[in-house]
Structure 1
Amino acid sequence: MEMEMEGEVKKLVVVWATVVASLLGSHQMSRLMAPGVKRLCAFLPILCLFFYLPLILTSVHFTGTTSFFITWLSTFKLILFAFDKGPLYSSDPPLPISRFILTATLPIKIKTKTKTKTKSSSSSSHKPPNTIIIINYSLKFFLFLLLLKLYGHPLHPLLKMALFCLHIYVVLDLGLALVAYAVRTILGFDLEPHFNEPYLATSLQDFWGNRWNLMVKAILHPTVYIPVRSLSGRFLPKNLAPFPAVVASFVVSGLMHELIFYYIGRLKPTWEVTWFFVIHGVLSGAEVVVKKAMGGRFRVPGVVSGAVTLSLVMGSSFWLFFPPFLRADTEVRSCKEFVAFMELVLRGRFVAPNHVSCPYF
């Protein structure tokens, strides 16, 4: 039992050591090759390796984190870096190797000095004080504990789904904020936020573009949106050109989510998750086009549009997003892994997640 969990931890160490070694190699190759297709071809073995590595792992937390951080974000960052673009590229001065690896492996976006200078007045006026930030995350942590308690009671399936929507947001927000805090504390970097209170969104464009998982938006914008927008602008009128670019970004996001769900559950893809993002891509793209056509002449009250937006996101999540996620017993497996982790922290011994019970499901 102990060897099973200990073996998983050892595999995680090997996987991430391989990632770091691969990034060291890509950093060295960039010094020897000019940006362009040739450098991208040199990166291809590393990119393929990044797609393979999550298959070595079986833990929900280890697999999910590695596939999101490495298979998705790191891969896209390296593709941009092949053409001297994206967060890994800096011409004056070039990124030091430590910062290069941190930026490549973690979902962080380091604020540049020029950015903080040009926006110092506006950012200082809108940035909440540290006390408010602490209170905000403290409330979210207690909300997380409350959700765990609620799962132990009989709940209507729809209510449980609604709570699970909240659960996903709280876990992601707390987890990514913890990563950002650790990097900021140890290295002193000022980082961009990952979420911007998505429950305050007033439209789908606002939800996906300005509030939800901003790291994903930041990586999809230069890798998918801008190239497709440039191409569609040659064939479509100016007001329609953003539509295929928005849809393409959501399609890519859907395919990457589908891949991550496969890594976690190892179940045959049903493409429900992809369709979830396709639908939201079409609706978001249509919203962009309609807003451009209306020119701000008609506005729906924020209370109404916000309620419709959240209802649409949650309703479509119940229909398409969560079923494949729950089909792999992800919530039960992750809970057991958490219990096993607490056993290691409190008692200093490895216990296989399959040999503990989850008190909440």
Structure 2
Amino acid sequence: MSTFQPHQPLHFTAGLTLLQRVAAWLGWVAASGLLLWRQRAQAPGTPRLAAAAPLLAANLIVPLLFGGDEVVTCFIVAIFTSMIANLKVLGWVLNRGCLRRPLTPAQFLAVYALPIIPAEEQAAEREAAASQAKARRKGRTHETYSAGIHFWRFVRKLVLLAGVVWVLATYRLPPIPQLLVQTLSMYLVLSISCDGLAALVSTALRLPISPHFDSPYGCTSVADFWNRSCVYNPIMEGRLVHRPGEPGPAFSRARRMVAVLASFLVSGLVHEGLYWYYTGRFTPHLLWLWHFVLWGLIIVGENVGRRALRDAGIVVPLWAATALTLTLLHAMVGLFWFPPLNQAGIMQLGTANLYSGWQGAKAAALRAWGA
């Protein structure tokens, strides 16, 4: 697959330095979060949508402030604000998700702006989903951690990420080790920010936070790996706006299949948007869209296969299930996820950004120590 030079024609800096643009982004996030909190008494549905529409639109524009060599910053802003924050706001519009909980202004702002989910809300969402299923799913390995454990996870992964970045920046690895290390680096980058922010919010705001990643390297099925969706519940309930106490449709395997496939279709479209923010184009051959669509089909097939094995009295050992799941995961990201990133030079530039940032932090620490 040939490489290309990413170019986002809508990127603009407004004549500001990177630091000034980051400050502007943070200021907007704080202001928009507090404005949304003041609208919390609005009725779900159209009234909330009218109040949130300008905010949703502005959140889609903010990542365009970043581009060029600012690949890590661009993706952080796009993921935090255009993707996660907007999905939470849409959940609030539909009377779903974590922003509908009774939160203090500071808690509301933190949950809106950061990639965190309050632990109690996660449990409530699972209970709502389980009411549509014949049997309750197995719970998460850990619903929440103490602030100390969140912080320890953050430090441990930060040290591991430093080693991974050093390996990627220093060595040219064969394809399979490269795939394994790149996959680990992606997990660490996403997980580190969530763990660190969870520790901060848990301590400062007394709000228990559910871990963003729940032992992904120990999952025993594809369904275990993909366990969150903002599309699944509305389809299973047969309505967009959640109305507590109103009866929903009877359980249907066909409805559940549609809900699963729709969830992954939406996820694929959202991630194509993330790629567009930095490159100015969608992934070649819409590989990221197909990545998620195929995961939906795989989960449907997995459910059928597991049911057939169960009916036949065949029990797959946990170690074998984990090995098969992780093999499939790495095969999928190797075929669909990393080629667009490598083609645009995003992994290389991201590694360089992290490596230079790490070197700068180390130099600053040494200067401070010497002083």
Q: Which interval holds the TM-score relative to the shorter structure?
A: 0.7 to 0.9
Letter in 2 for 1:98: A
1:176-232 Cα deviation digits (max 9, x unpaired) = 1111112223223221111122111111111212xxxxxxx1xx2xx3101222349
Contact 1:240 1:289 in 2 (8 A): no
Partner of 2:273: 259
2:40 counterpart SS class: helix
Contact 2:59 2:86 in 1 (8 A): yes
Compared CA separation, residues 236 and 318, structure 1 to 2 (3 A):
farther
Q: Does 1:26 align with 2:36?
A: yes
Please report the RMSD computed on the Cα atoms of aligned residues, expressed in angstroms: 3.6
Compared CA separation, residues 312 and 98, structure 1 to 2 (3 A):
same
Q: Does 1:82 align with 2:93?
A: yes
Compared CA separation, residues 231 and 56, structure 1 to 2 (3 A):
same
Q: Does 1:145 align with 2:162?
A: yes
Question: What is the count of residue pairs matched by the alignment?
Answer: 325
The correspondence for 1:49, drawn from 54, 58, 70, is: 58
Q: Does 1:101 align with 2:115?
A: no
State the shift of 1:294 in Å: 6.4
Distance 1:252 1:72 in 2: 12
Q: Does 1:277 align with 2:284?
A: no
TM-score by length of 1: 0.78
Letter in 1 for 2:76: T
Contact 2:261 2:293 in 1 (8 A): yes
Letter in 2 for 1:109: I
Partner of 1:63: 74
Contact 2:276 2:282 in 1 (8 A): yes
Q: Does 1:248 align with 2:262?
A: yes
Compared CA separation, residues 20 and 236, structure 1 to 2 (3 A):
same
Distance 1:135 1:229 in 2: 38
1:240 counterpart SS class: helix
1:240-279 Cα deviation digits (max 9, x unpaired) = 3211111111111111111112223334433101101111
Compared CA separation, residues 159 and 24, structure 1 to 2 (3 A):
same
Partner of 1:172: 190
Contact 2:145 2:208 in 1 (8 A): no
The correspondence for 2:350, drawn from 294, 314, 334, is: 334
Distance 2:122 2:91 in 1: 21
Distance 2:233 2:142 in 1: 31
Letter in 2 for 1:28: R
Unaligned 5+ runs, structure 2: 1-12, 125-138, 240-247, 365-371
Distance 1:167 1:282 in 2: 27
Partner of 1:355: none
Partner of 2:337: 321
Distance 2:146 2:76 in 1: 30
TM-score by length of 2: 0.76
Unaligned 5+ runs, structure 1: 117-121, 210-216, 349-361
Letter in 1 for 2:164: L
State the shift of 1:339 in Å: 4.6
State the shift of 1:43 in Å: 1.4
Partner of 1:214: none
Contact 2:144 2:208 in 1 (8 A): no
2:106 counterpart SS class: helix
Compared CA separation, residues 324 and 236, structure 1 to 2 (3 A):
farther
Shifted more, 156-165 versus 273-282: the winner is 156-165
Letter in 1 for 2:38: Q
Aligned-residue sequence identity (percent) comes to: 25
Contact 2:145 2:211 in 1 (8 A): no
Higher helix share: 1
Contact 1:243 1:289 in 2 (8 A): no
Compared CA separation, residues 231 and 9, structure 1 to 2 (3 A):
same
1:30 counterpart SS class: coil
Shifted more, 241-250 versus 290-299: the winner is 290-299
